Amino acid sequence: MTALNIMQQINEKGLKALEDYKDTHYYYPLKMYFKAKKARTNLEYLDKKSDSHAYVLKYVEKTLIILEKESIKNQEIFNILETVLLWSDIAKVGTGSAIKEWQRKKYNLYVHNLGSFMIYNNYTTNQKNQEIISVLIKTHGLFGQYLRGENKLSGSIEIYQLLERKLIKRNILEKILYILNKCIIKAVNEKLWLKLEKDIVIAINNLLNKKFVELDDLERLKRLRGNKKENISKWYNKYKDIIVPIFEQLDLWYVESALGDFELNNFFKIFYIIMKKCDISNFQNLSFENFMDNIYYDRKGVKNVNLYKKRIIEKYLNSIDIENNIIPVNEHVEVVIREIEGTILFNFKFSEAASKLIEFCEVAEKTNSILYEKSIIMLYDLFEFRKDDYDWFYNEHTYLKVMNQSITYKSIILDYIVGNYIIDVGPGGGALMNMIEERYPNKKIVGIDIAKTVVSELNKYKKEHKRKWEVMEMDIFEATKHIALNSVDTVIFSSVIHELYSYVETDGKKFNIKTIIKALQNAYDILKPGGRIIIRDGIKTEPDTKRIIEFKTDDGLDFFYNYERDFKGRKIEYQLLDKKRLLLPVNDAMEFLYTYTWGIESYPREVQEQFGYFTPSEFVKCINDNLSNAIIIEFKHFLQEGYTEHLLSKINFYNEDGEKEKLPNSTCLVVIEKGISSK
């Protein structure tokens, strides 16, 4: 009878079947796995839905299935491997009473191989090959850790010492180590084993020959970052005084799993915090397991970052100044470092207000309703985020799909493109870039967006659809820091400037004309002489005459009152004529109708934005006053398709004399050319 046979019987007959094996060495570990109410789960390679308390149990069962498929004829080798696999993850589970006992005995439950090693030796006596099994449990997974850059190969020296002590022959130990690592890694992810198999074999041979071929610190850093395309060398040289002492002193756990979605500068800031707050010479391990559990979660069987938490943490990390040794206090997030049994446990803690708001956002997200939009707006307000830092959080797919569906009436932009280097600011779902690429297949097309989620989704889309355009995570307000002056032929702002105007603070103020000027100047500076800025966006009407809105529905006036209260772009002026009619300046009327058109579902988003920010003459003046030697080669405005049709059942629109009026123009197309003699 093997451990796998017993597990299958328990799965079939229930826990009562476990009692039949009470007098065997299988009983205690299986009891801990099957009776565990909760388990610690590494979500990094999670590829299917499973209850958290059963995840470790299923993983151990999978390792044993792989072991049995090896058809090992030597029973002693099989018994060693089975016992190691059965006990190696026990520190991740346990019953309530067992965990309390382990904690009282100061077992290290946060470094699971050490904790499992301690538990095994406490509950097992006089087992054949116990010393060998103990060492293999204690070094369980360390080859993988070494290849990931988390520790040194020399950390597994106790395996080599089994040979020095003549407890096992080299060829047998080599075989055991190969099969053990195959079971461990393949049970996590079969493709991962295929990728690592050759490196595992080399590492095993080096260790058994006492050749501690260590990765250099720069290579370790690259592996900890998942070999991303980053300027690792530059940052390493800048901050090696932070990272090298940690590499020398500590074994690391769950680094890529926990920090993989954070930018490299913030990655270093986390280690900087640890160096400032801890005397690392007193410790052997640094674990990010608690942080991993905090920042990620299993959503539909896949590891997902909790973007609400991530953005709050990023805002805090961005405030840290390593050069000037400044770690400011933040009222909504703080670093929590626990020091337990030679291990540093790193995490972040949120204020009660932040925690409740995050929880509210998570609940509201599942409702797929207006409640979710309102919860996001509260996040913007509490943490003073820019809207484009989020771009609809987990709804990137929906957001990008909607953006793509709205592209047809923007195709006129293509007629004004010049040159070979084109930048699309805020590319949405990539549809405009697709259209440009299809018409101009040999041009360099680059979309820039500050939202990480949008950039990530566009890169996935590009790969899946074999597109040639590029996408960069970049802020248009810092364009001149990333793109050479006088190097771009065309910069496109398609329904973007009104969002910058609505969400971005300049001089501490949103809805600031200086924001528009700053965006245009950055775009103008990177243009070549003869290059063009193409703008498609909202427009105000002139002169600002009065119009009457007559609501056809009973809830129309209530909608307006809510809008007038919530809209922050400017004060909406109006006169109530009767229960269904309002008299307003035409631009206030249209600004309201831009939101009313799309209904209550879009209200929380639309009410945050001011679509019309310039009249035609104001637009011309802004360009002439702020862009040296600019030439306006096209300026036209029109009523965007859809408004008349959507409002037909909702309102009547009249002039002051009570005569029916058409809706005024909503949208403009402006093409600005950089003068040849411009600097």
150-198 confidence digits (pLDDT tens): 999 999 999 999 999 999 999 999 999 999 999 999 998 899 999 999 9
DSSP 189-217: -HHHHHHHHHHHHHHHHHHHTT---PPPH
Instruction: Please list the residues that pair with 491 across neighbouring strands.
Output: 423, 533
- Whether residue 107 is found in the same domain as residue 194: yes
- Whether residue 175 is found in the same domain as residue 93: yes
- Whether residue 507 is found in the same domain as residue 559: no
- Residue 379 forms part of a structural domain: no
- Whether residue 35 is found in the same domain as residue 102: yes
Look up residue 505 and give its two tokens: 């603070």
pLDDT tens-digit map of 560-592: 999 999 899 999 999 999 989 999 999 999 999
- Residue 124 forms part of a structural domain: yes
Look up residue 522 and give its two tokens: 């950055």
Burial zone of 643 (CB within 10 Å; 0-12 exposed, 13-18 middle, 19+ buried): middle
Q: Compute how many other C-beta atoms are within 10 angstroms of the C-beta atom of residue 266.
A: 17
The segments of the chain whose pLDDT lies below 50 read 43-51, 388-407, 678-679
Residue 384: per-residue pLDDT? 67
Residue 391: per-residue pLDDT? 45
**Domain termination residue (choose one: 214, 235, 265):** 214
- Residue 375 forms part of a structural domain: no
DSSP structure class, residue 151: S
**Domain termination residue (choose one: 500, 518, 538):** 538
Share of the chain above pLDDT 90, in %: 65
- The domain total for the chain is 4
Residue 379: per-residue pLDDT? 73
| Residue tagged 């058109």 (tokens) | 597
Name the H helices within 440-571: 452-465, 479-482, 497-503, 513-526, 556-566
- Residue 25 forms part of a structural domain: yes
- Residue 671 forms part of a structural domain: no
- Whether residue 452 is found in the same domain as residue 595: no
- Whether residue 517 is found in the same domain as residue 564: no
- Residue 139 forms part of a structural domain: yes
- Whether residue 236 is found in the same domain as residue 277: yes
Domain residues for the domain of 515 are 394-538
- Residue 628 forms part of a structural domain: no
- Whether residue 207 is found in the same domain as residue 290: no
Q: Note the pTM of the prediction, 2 decimals.
A: 0.66
**Domain termination residue (choose one: 350, 365, 381):** 350
